[in-house]
Amino acid sequence: MDSRELGVRIRDHRKKRGLTLVELANQIGVSQSFLSMVENAKTTPSLENLVAIGEVLRWDWNYLIEGVAKDGSPTEEEKQLLALWRRLAKRDKGLFLSMLDRLNHKEAVILRLADETEGEEAEKVKLWTLRES
């Protein structure tokens, strides 16, 4: 999970619990600016801070790490995706699924192309792929 996803999950859970940024920061013993930086992916909290946040928010660790609640209920991102899916015209749903499939396989395609390329260009492609991961 990247820091952007972590920040979004913390913010979503904080809001679900009805806490302001200031209230959560005070309860876990950090500054409001630090917590804001965590939520906006400007910094990563220590394990100690994550545990403190988790205790205050009473979150499901599966949700934090994997984005999936233990009970299988959808995350906010999944709810947004479902809402978008439902608004799509039937003819566009196949195109949408095809695009998602391609996004899921883009790294493998890029690496295959890099293997077919030689020298410095292949290294550039591989480095780009690692940076984008």
Look-up: residue for tokens 């233990």? Answer: 70
Whether pTM exceeds 0.75: no
83 within some domain: no
Instruction: Please give the Cα distance from 29 to 90 (Å, whole number).
Output: 50
| pLDDT score recorded for residue 72 | 64
| pLDDT score recorded for residue 89 | 92
pLDDT, averaged in runs of 10, over the chain (133 residues): 84 91 96 95 90 86 66 76 91 86 73 68 63 54
Secondary structure of residue 43 in the 3-state scheme: coil
User: How many domains does one find in the chain?
Assistant: 2
Q: Are residues 72 and 20 in the same domain?
A: yes
| pLDDT score recorded for residue 54 | 87
Secondary structure of residue 86 in the 3-state scheme: helix
Q: Which domain holds residue 31?
A: 3-76
67 within some domain: yes
Name residues whose C-beta falls within 8 Å of residue 95's C-beta, 6 or more positions apart in sequence.
none
34 within some domain: yes
Instruction: Please give the Cα distance from 129 to 126 (Å, whole number).
Output: 5
41 within some domain: yes
Q: Are residues 51 and 93 in the same domain?
A: no
